[in-house]
Amino acid sequence: MGDVSGDAAAGGTKAIILPIPGKRNILITSALPYVNNVPHLGNIIGCVLSADVFARYCRLRGYNTIYICGTDEYGTATETKAMEEKCSPKEICDKYHAIHKEVYNWFGISFDEFGRTSSPQQTEVCQAIFGKLLENNWLSENTMQQLYCDTCERFLADRLVEGICPTPGCEYDSARGDQCEKCGKLLNPTELKDPRCKVCQTTPRIRDTNHMFLELPLLRNKLEEYINKTSVAGSWSQNAIQATNAWLKEGLKPRCITRDLKWGVPVPLERFKDKVFYVWFDAPIGYVSITSCYTNEWEKWWKNPENVELFQFMGKDNVPFHTVMFPSTLLGTGEDWTLMKTISVTEYLNYEAGKFSKSKGVGVFGNDAKDTNIPVEVWRYYLLANRPEVSDTLFTWADLQAKLNGELLNNLGNFIHRVLSFIAKPLGQGYGSIIPDVSDADSHGLTLGLAEKVGKYVDQYVESMEKVKLKQGLKSAMAISTEGNIYLQTAQFWNLYKEDKPSCNLVMRTSAGLVYLLACLLEPFMPSFSQEVFKQLNVPVERHMSLCEEKGDIERAKQPWKILPSGHKIGTPEPLFKELKDEEVELYRDKFAGSQAQRIVRAEAEAEKLAAQLKSTNVSGGGKKQQAKSTGSKSKAAVEPEITITRLDIRVGLITKAQKHPDADSLYVEEIDVGESQPRTVVSGLVKYIPLEEMQNRKVCVLCNLKPAAMRGIKSQAMVLAASNSDHTKVELVEPPKDAIVGERIKFSGFEGEPDSVLNPKKKVWETLQVDLATNGDLVACFKDIPFTTSAGICKVSSISSGSIR
């Protein structure tokens, strides 16, 4: 196990991996990032990072795996960027390929090959596939009308045209000629209302031009047979199925595969010598050509469907090109291609109050993350814990701080450091850094109970990761850390050491085994963290535990006291994470506000001041209080946004555990899953209204952005919403439909916007909105007569009509 970075790793030669008969051979690709800017965090989690986690997991399991990616370099966006920067398209590609590679290297992305679509291999493979399609009569030549700019004296490619989206209800005024960024609909430039040339802003005119088309309608039967079979066998994500079906339902049309451009793969026909292939015809072929750069035996991966499983990762806007266009292209050749088995699709990761945008320079970009001094394992963890698998998620600095300080520092880091630092204490106080010998655990109920729970979480981890449910896999791994902390606290090892040494030996050796197990399970998510843990355990990298069925690793993981041998000497324990302070969060939020262009202007104006602030408020060094006050004062001048229902973060939650408050007879303490890597602790005054057995394992509506508050000694991190009758003698939980997705945000028709990260109690946002929350005569929970709505339907109560919700 360990970091097996290929092209992204520094130096060294590596053995070429080829499919092995009788083994699971996994071919992984992530959508090729475009070279028109530095990748932002939304690009990174949507494509390369998610694929990297799965690739590392596959290697951990002993599968024969390669991970292929590279930069997508041809097309209009490159030409446009080159015009902006006053250089050639090739110079732009060289510049941004190097930047992308550096960013992914810092993020620890373990490509086996990170290539480019501007390679000679791309031209060779692309033209060969085109030749087969032409030979098999799946192509046609047609005259089409295209916008021509008389000022620029050129046909305008899709992305060189902007205008008003023609889709009813959208009418976004900056829709591109190929796709509307707002509603996602694919467009032709001539469909835009009031089109304008992006270069000179003049109105273009329509002119005839000849192009080649892929006859998708003729390929429909082959395509639908593939989709119907593979979407089930490969467990395609629901958003991928929906996007694909939308294309099919709309009706497949001949798709133009050539463009009037110079920068691209040339069309190998004399009458088309001044044209190139459309980027969305040649870009997916880049997966193949980049593999051919990795090995000249690339066909063993790409023309071997019986022995190779292809997994592809991408954002939701790329789905139709991978489920319709690319498979149709390969099917049309008549050759035995390895077609995609499983597609993993992410929704959008939004930034603070809006969308990440690479073209507009909005959000935190890969090089920004590096410059914060926040360690890479924190960035990887946060992005993966917040991975938008079923719905859009939101990046906020406050949430990053909460996850670092709460989940990584106080849970995971605290558990590991407590265990290793106690073992490292000198004899008489600890174990002198030596793993103790133990008798069998059969008679130790606490340890057996822990082992049973750990076994279940390991099984859940494997099941989730096999289905590419990465967020759930991470959640299962982190739950083992939570159980470890509970185990230590319940055992009270510091007392056992004095009173019952054999039991203490068992507890500490078991806990050290959990540390080792956590490092293994979390390696796909945080490889640099795992390397540090193995170093502190004094375990050589090449001897890391794997999760191979054949080696019995899964079963061994369920007996953690057997993982590390007695007599093993650990290394030197060190804290693994450092606290992110409030003043640092304010600094980063301020620093990364606005677009990249705006930041440059600000940076130039405040260079000396900002440098001083960064020097005194980095993650590793802590901040000075006086400077914290000055940086924090900027946010106070911000205009308070309007109080609307969108400022509340109400989610579908699942109560996984409920019990009586140990110090208050009227209160329950619940553990509630709200779609995060760890459940939230919630204290509710429901004891006299709802029996304890009815609180178990039920879905509820949870207000997640109230400021945490201590209730009789236990901090409540959210609030369960319930309705009460007029005299408050009856209370019922507001319940989502049974098929609602845990963690999804409750929506209100006509209201759109992102919630506050944490509601400011002084602004009375909750108090202002709460008066308009009530049930109606049909028992539906509403805000001003607008139902609480989930993807599975509306939220209701059992019997209270016209009840107040709080």
- Please name which of 28, 30, 34 lies closest in space to residue 97, comparing C-alpha atoms: 34
pLDDT, residue 711, reads: 83
pLDDT, residue 357, reads: 52
Give me the mean pLDDT over the 561-578 stretch: 94
Which residues share a beta bridge with 661? 664
Contact 794, 742 (CB under 8 A): no
Average pLDDT of the chain, as a whole number: 87
Contact 493, 421 (CB under 8 A): no
Confidence of residue 350 (pLDDT cuts 50, 70, 90): confident
pLDDT, residue 639, reads: 56
pLDDT greater than 50 at residue 353? yes
Q: Mean pLDDT lowest for which of 80-94, 372-386, 566-580?
A: 80-94
**425-440 pLDDT, tens per residue?**
999 999 999 999 988 7
**452-475 pLDDT, tens per residue?**
999 999 999 999 999 999 999 999
Contact 684, 668 (CB under 8 A): yes
Q: How far apart are the first and last CA of the chain?
A: 50
pLDDT, residue 636, reads: 40
- Please name which of 640, 584, 628, 662 lies closest in space to residue 759, comparing C-alpha atoms: 640
**498-517 pLDDT, tens per residue?**
999 999 999 999 999 999 99
pLDDT, residue 634, reads: 40
Q: How far apart are CA 759 and CA 102, in angstroms?
A: 38
pLDDT greater than 60 at residue 625? no
pLDDT, residue 491, reads: 92
Beta strand spans in 316-439 (E): 340-346, 349-351, 354-355, 393-395
pLDDT, residue 555, reads: 85
Tokens of 560: 């953690």
Long-range CB contacts (within 8 A, 24+) of 636-643: 640/763, 643/763, 643/765, 643/768, 643/769
Contact 199, 83 (CB under 8 A): yes
Q: Can you give 623-641 as a three-state secondary structure string? A: CCHHHHHHHHHHHHCCCCC
Give me the mean pLDDT over the 89-98 stretch: 92
Tokens of 54: 């799965």
Give me the mean pLDDT over the 414-422 stretch: 95
Give me the mean pLDDT over the 412-430 stretch: 95
Confidence of residue 159 (pLDDT cuts 50, 70, 90): confident
Q: Mean pLDDT lowest for which of 403-412, 480-489, 556-565?
A: 556-565
Higher pLDDT residue, 504 or 544? Answer: 504
pLDDT, residue 635, reads: 39
Helices 445-466 and 501-522 pack at an angle, to 10 degrees, of: 10
pLDDT, residue 761, reads: 83
Confidence of residue 632 (pLDDT cuts 50, 70, 90): very low
Alpha-helical regions (H) of 606-745: 607-616, 625-636
pLDDT greater than 50 at residue 725? yes
pLDDT greater than 70 at residue 494? yes
Higher pLDDT residue, 184 or 61? Answer: 61
pLDDT, residue 612, reads: 59
pLDDT, residue 130, reads: 97
**117-147 pLDDT, tens per residue?**
999 999 999 999 999 999 999 999 999 888 9
pTM, full prediction: 0.71
CA angle 467/468/474 to nearest 5° reads 110
Provide φ and ψ at 324, rounded to 5°: -120, -60
The string of DSSP letters for 259-301 reads ES-SSSPBPSSGGGTT-EE-HHHHTTHHHHHHHHHH-TTTHHH
pLDDT, residue 544, reads: 65
pLDDT greater than 60 at residue 631? no
Contact 47, 315 (CB under 8 A): yes
Confidence of residue 485 (pLDDT cuts 50, 70, 90): very high
Q: What length does the chain have? A: 806
pLDDT, residue 505, reads: 95
Tokens of 639: 């205009």
Which residues share a beta bridge with 365? 40
Q: Mean pLDDT lowest for which of 22-31, 224-233, 436-445?
A: 436-445
Q: Mean pLDDT lowest for which of 123-137, 148-162, 600-614, 684-698?
A: 600-614
Give me the mean pLDDT over the 754-773 stretch: 88
Confidence of residue 210 (pLDDT cuts 50, 70, 90): very high
pLDDT, residue 778, reads: 85
pLDDT, residue 627, reads: 41
pLDDT, residue 607, reads: 56
Residue 228 Cα distances to 96, 223, 231, 429, angstroms: 39, 9, 6, 64
pLDDT, residue 10, reads: 35
Q: How far apart are CA 748 and CA 752, in angstroms?
A: 8
pLDDT, residue 2, reads: 32
Give me the mean pLDDT over the 581-589 stretch: 88
